[in-house]
């Protein structure tokens, strides 16, 4: 089941369907980040559910060893990731890919680098049980574990109406919390809302290079990660791109990107070989190292690599500097998150 | 260098010196928790220093592997500890003892179970370099590591007047943050401040049992951990107790407490064999499992063990219930701590 052919062809469809006309003369395929992502009818947000999700996020008792909380690899102080190329899961094994940020994660249509989860709830629930992530055992065991902690029953009742504790409910609460992780009011958002002086001259030049050289064919709309649900795509429909586009590029020899077959590992469909979900560029200055294998340490090198391996463009030093300046304009305001107190 | 003979003899000195007379007829060797612990002249508190300390606390780049932040084992959501008997350090090895809470840690006169650190700053700095804690390498390497992160220089300048980054300054900032971790206004504090109805009847009975059976010989004053600096002891002078007092108690066979020689491992002085720092009982309901080896899972069993192995007292079921109720009155208000954003 190949999900897409090329992200760029999809962009064309998207442009025709959504952007021509109503947006008008000053067309730009970018939008300021809304206050919240699309919320599924099956899991409406509520303060109680978000609070429960936050509590679970900090609770290592969800993991098999009792040592690993979500916060361990998705450190909310550190780009909601961990600053590492690859991470060590609850079972002590290395992860296959680099931890992506959770900031604005609700704006995707599919989850994980290979899009193997088609809802955020499924992504969270499967992560609970992956051995080199949370290694939580079975739905029954993790439910028993959490139900055995006095105080959680009351929190589940407030969130869901009764005290039933189950893995799907944990995933729903965690997903609700994750949908609250929105970083508004970046400099770029100020620019998109009409303050044309918000971007520095270097950032404006970088933005122009970003659009002209083709970065924006995939990195567009609110998250600079392609469509959000309801916009050309629905939740569960993936927006992927071949990476690297040019595996003969020298950077692929250096960084071995193409060793990972991406979505092919999920579908076994040749058309999905080396397809990866297009990642958000919001807060990208806070989420080094870069790419699915975390092989690139700096943003400047990441931009150079994208030019070379993806677009057959050799950016000049000045262009690199400008594009990096532009990418720095995508850092939003991180919401204040008070550390919860776990029930005992 | 034996530091003390018996905590109980010291208590007598303490009572004579500090409590007879001025405290008056309603004598109690307990005091409500002040808003902050004693602050050393060498490391005065400031908002900038506390903020820097909080940032460092969440930053895994202090550790050798880049994976371990202070927050990993001293989870501020989870009793400022990790809920485990023993923990796994940055080098993957098990810790020798159970992680103690950091709440109210500034009220001690010595630090660690064996009192091997005589200032909080020394405790933090030595933890940075212990291989099975943070494993940070050398003072030079961790300073270079943190100095290489743009943004920290400015934070150090705000905290210390210039941008010099050093391990002692990191320890000072972290210690300042730790001194801000005070949990005021427990039910017991309300009681001590004059609201005699704050404790339930069960808690009042438990308190009486706690005092009458001898728990309070060691667990007294503001932290229920003995003297604070300036009160019979100065910072660096240890308040220790032999544990277990009665190694022939059945619980020592079960839990193997006496396998750990405690302060003897620091001093090699026979008089220090099996001496341990008296730990705070504040928030003890949030810091399971119990004792230096984390061998006891529940508070009720911990109280039973203390009766049997420490005081030669066999508490009845009713007494256990009441003492546990009293210990629950020692849970304070946890300050709201907003997750910081680390410099990149």
What tens digit of pLDDT does each residue of B170-214 get?
999 999 999 999 999 999 999 999 999 999 999 999 999 999 999
At residue A139, the pLDDT reads 97
Q: Say how many CA atoms lie within 13 Å of A309 toward its Cβ.
A: 24
CA Rg value for chain B: 20
Q: Do A82 and B61 touch (CB under 8 A)?
A: no
Q: In this model, does residue A251 exceed pLDDT 80?
A: yes
Q: In this model, does residue B153 exceed pLDDT 80?
A: yes
| Nearby residues of A22 by Cβ (< 8 Å), 6 or more positions away | none
Most A CBs within 10 A among B77, B88, B298, hence the mutation to make, goes to B77
Q: In this model, does residue A134 exceed pLDDT 60?
A: yes
User: Tokens 């927006």 — which residue?
Assistant: A239
Distance CA B187, CA A210 (A): 59
Q: In this model, does residue A244 exceed pLDDT 90?
A: yes
Residues of B in contact with A83 (CB under 8 A): 60-61, 66
User: Tokens 């795509």 — which residue?
Assistant: A233
- What is the distance in angstroms between the Cα of B2 and the nearest Cα belonging to chain A? 36
At residue B86, the pLDDT reads 97
At residue A311, the pLDDT reads 97
- Partner-chain residue, chosen from A60, A71, A334, that has the shortest CB–CB distance to B83: A60
Distance CA B149, CA A297 (A): 13
Backbone angles phi, psi at A277, to 5 degrees: -60, 140
Cβ atoms within 10 Å, residue A225: 21
At residue A230, the pLDDT reads 85
- Nearest 5°: the CA angle A44, A50, A53 is 115
When pLDDT is averaged across residues A94-122 and rounded to a whole number, the result is 97
When pLDDT is averaged across residues A48-57 and rounded to a whole number, the result is 98
pLDDT band at A23; cut points 50, 70, 90: very low
Q: Do A344 and B79 touch (CB under 8 A)?
A: yes
At residue A17, the pLDDT reads 46
- What is the distance in angstroms between the Cα of A243 and the nearest Cα belonging to chain B? 26
- What is the distance in angstroms between the Cα of B104 and the nearest Cα belonging to chain A? 16
At residue A198, the pLDDT reads 98
**Could you tell me how many CB contacts below 8 A there are between chain A and chain B?**
83
Tell me, rounded to whole angstroms, the distance of Cα A115 from its chain centroid. Answer: 11
Residues of B in contact with A289 (CB under 8 A): none
Distance CA A309, CA A312 (A): 6
Most A CBs within 10 A among B63, B74, B78, B284, hence the mutation to make, goes to B78
Contact A275, A4 (CB under 8 A): yes
DSSP annotation string for B69-124: -HHHHSBTTTTTB-S-SS-B-TTSPBPSSPPPP-TTGGG-SSBSTT--BSSHHHHH
DSSP annotation string for A173-190: HHHHHHHT------HHHH
Please tell me which residue of chain B has the smallest CA distance to A57: B77
Give yes or no for A82 touching B (CB within 8 A).
Answer: yes
At residue A7, the pLDDT reads 53
CA Rg value for chain A: 20
Q: Do B339 and A339 touch (CB under 8 A)?
A: yes
Q: In this model, does residue A21 exceed pLDDT 90?
A: no
- What is the distance in angstroms between the Cα of A56 and the nearest Cα belonging to chain B? 10
Both tokens of B120, joined, read 């909080």
When pLDDT is averaged across residues B15-34 and rounded to a whole number, the result is 62
Residues of A in contact with B63 (CB under 8 A): none
Please tell me which residue of chain A has the smallest CA distance to B82: A67
Backbone angles phi, psi at A290, to 5 degrees: -115, 160
- What is the distance in angstroms between the Cα of A305 and the nearest Cα belonging to chain B? 21
Higher-confidence residue of B8 and B150: namely B150
Q: What's the mean per-residue pLDDT of chain A?
A: 93
Give yes or no for B76 touching A (CB within 8 A).
Answer: yes
Q: Do B337 and A338 touch (CB under 8 A)?
A: yes
pLDDT band at B2; cut points 50, 70, 90: very low
Smallest CA-to-CA distance from B70 within B53, B83, B51, B48 is with B53
Q: What pLDDT, in 10s, does the model give residues B100-141?
A: 999 999 999 999 999 999 999 999 999 999 999 999 999 999
Q: In this model, does residue B35 exceed pLDDT 80?
A: yes
Residues of B in contact with A285 (CB under 8 A): 344
Contact B293, B97 (CB under 8 A): yes
- Partner-chain residue, chosen from A60, A66, A337, that has the shortest CB–CB distance to B339: A337
Q: What's the mean per-residue pLDDT of chain B?
A: 93
Backbone angles phi, psi at A102, to 5 degrees: -100, -10
Both tokens of B196, joined, read 């005699």
Give yes or no for B74 touching A (CB within 8 A).
Answer: no
Distance CA A56, CA A58 (A): 5
Q: Do A334 and B341 touch (CB under 8 A)?
A: yes
Both tokens of A279, joined, read 């990642």
Q: What pLDDT, in 10s, does the model give residues B214-258?
A: 999 999 999 999 998 888 899 999 999 999 999 999 999 999 999
Distance CA A303, CA A310 (A): 10
Both tokens of B28, joined, read 């109690």
Continuous segment of H or E residues that includes residue A326? helix A317-328
Q: Do B77 and A342 touch (CB under 8 A)?
A: yes
Both tokens of B233, joined, read 């002891």
Least confident range of A44-48, A222-226, A232-236, B156-160: A232-236
- What is the distance in angstroms between the Cα of B79 and the nearest Cα belonging to chain A? 8
At residue B23, the pLDDT reads 39
Q: CB under 8 Å, gap of 24 or more: what pairs does B133-138 form?
A: B133/B73, B133/B89, B133/B90, B133/B95, B134/B62, B134/B63, B134/B64, B134/B68, B134/B70, B134/B89, B134/B90, B135/B63, B135/B64, B135/B65, B135/B68, B135/B89, B135/B90, B135/B91, B136/B62, B136/B63, B136/B64, B136/B167, B137/B64
- What is the distance in angstroms between the Cα of B232 and the nearest Cα belonging to chain A? 34
| Nearby residues of B104 by Cβ (< 8 Å), 6 or more positions away | B33, B37, B181, B182, B183, B223, B280, B282, B283, B332
Q: Do A87 and B67 touch (CB under 8 A)?
A: yes
Residues of B in contact with A55 (CB under 8 A): 77
Label residues B250-281 b or e (16+ Cβ within 10 Å = b). ebbeebebbebebbbebbeeeebbbbbbbbbb
Q: Do B60 and A69 touch (CB under 8 A)?
A: no
Both tokens of A314, joined, read 């050799």
Q: In this model, does residue B15 exceed pLDDT 70?
A: no
Residues of A in contact with B336 (CB under 8 A): 338-339
Distance CA B115, CA B111 (A): 5
Contact A274, A245 (CB under 8 A): no
Q: Do A78 and B58 touch (CB under 8 A)?
A: yes
A282: β partners = none
Q: What is the ipTM of this complex?
A: 0.93
Give yes or no for B223 touching A (CB within 8 A).
Answer: no
Dihedral over alpha carbons A165, A171, A172, A178 (to 10 degrees): 140
Give yes or no for A150 touching B (CB within 8 A).
Answer: no
**For residue A25, what are the CA distances in angstroms to A13, A21, A180?**
19, 8, 33
Both tokens of B52, joined, read 């820097």
pLDDT band at B16; cut points 50, 70, 90: very low
- Partner-chain residue, chosen from A67, A82, A92, that has the shortest CB–CB distance to B60: A82
When pLDDT is averaged across residues B46-51 and rounded to a whole number, the result is 98
The answer for A 101-140 residues in CB contact with B (under 8 A) is none
Distance CA A177, CA B61 (A): 26
When pLDDT is averaged across residues A50-72 and rounded to a whole number, the result is 98
Q: Do B83 and A61 touch (CB under 8 A)?
A: yes
Q: Do B60 and A83 touch (CB under 8 A)?
A: yes
Q: What pLDDT, in 10s, does the model give residues A275-314?
A: 999 999 999 999 999 999 999 999 999 999 999 999 999 9
Q: Do B83 and A77 touch (CB under 8 A)?
A: no
Percent of chain A residues topping a pLDDT of 90: 89
- What is the distance in angstroms between the Cα of B198 and the nearest Cα belonging to chain A? 22
DSSP annotation string for A46-107: -HHHHHHHHHHHT-GGGSSSS---HHHHSBTTTTTB-S-SS-B-TTSPBPSSPPPP-TTGGG
Give yes or no for A40 touching B (CB within 8 A).
Answer: no
Residues of A in contact with B334 (CB under 8 A): 341
Q: Do B78 and A342 touch (CB under 8 A)?
A: yes
């Amino acid at each position: 089941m190949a999900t897409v052919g090329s992200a760029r062809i999809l962009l064309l469809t998207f442009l025709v369907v959504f952007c021509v006309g109503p947006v008008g003369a000053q067309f730009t395929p970018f939008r300021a980040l809304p206050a919240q992502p699309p919320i599924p009818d099956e899991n409406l947000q509520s303060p109680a559910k978000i609070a429960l999700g936050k509590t679970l996020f900090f609770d290592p008792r969800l993991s098999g060893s009792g040592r690993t909380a979500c916060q361990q690899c998705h450190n909310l102080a550190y780009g909601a990731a961990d600053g590492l190329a690859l991470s060590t899961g609850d079972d002590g094994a290395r992860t296959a890919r680099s931890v992506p940020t959770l900031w604005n994660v609700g704006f995707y249509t599919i989850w994980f680098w290979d899009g193997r989860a088609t809802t955020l709830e499924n992504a969270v629930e499967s992560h609970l049980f992956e051995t080199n992530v949370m290694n939580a055992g079975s739905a029954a065991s993790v439910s028993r574990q959490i139900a055995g902690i006095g105080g959680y029953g009351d929190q589940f009742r407030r969130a869901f109406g009764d005290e039933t504790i189950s893995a799907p409910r944990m995933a729903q609460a965690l997903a609700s919390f994750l949908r609250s992780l929105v970083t508004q009011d970046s400099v770029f958002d100020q620019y998109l809302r009409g303050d044309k002086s918000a971007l520095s001259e270097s950032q404006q030049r970088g933005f122009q290079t970003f659009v002209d050289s083709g970065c924006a064919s995939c990195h567009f709309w609110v998250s600079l990660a392609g469509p959000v649900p309801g916009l050309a795509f629905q939740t569960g429909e993936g927006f992927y791109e071949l990476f690297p586009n040019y595996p003969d590029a020298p950077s692929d020899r250096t960084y071995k990107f193409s060793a990972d077959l991406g979505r092919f590992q999920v579908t076994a469909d040749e058309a999905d070989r080396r397809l990866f979900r297009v990642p958000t560029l919001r807060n990208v200055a806070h989420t080094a190292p870069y790419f699915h294998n975390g092989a690139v340490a700096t943003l400047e090198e990441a931009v150079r690599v994208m030019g070379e391996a993806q677009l057959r463009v050799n950016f000049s030093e000045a262009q690199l500097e400008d594009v990096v300046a532009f990418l720095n304009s995508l850092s939003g305001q991180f919401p204040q998150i008070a550390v919860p107190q776990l029930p005992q």
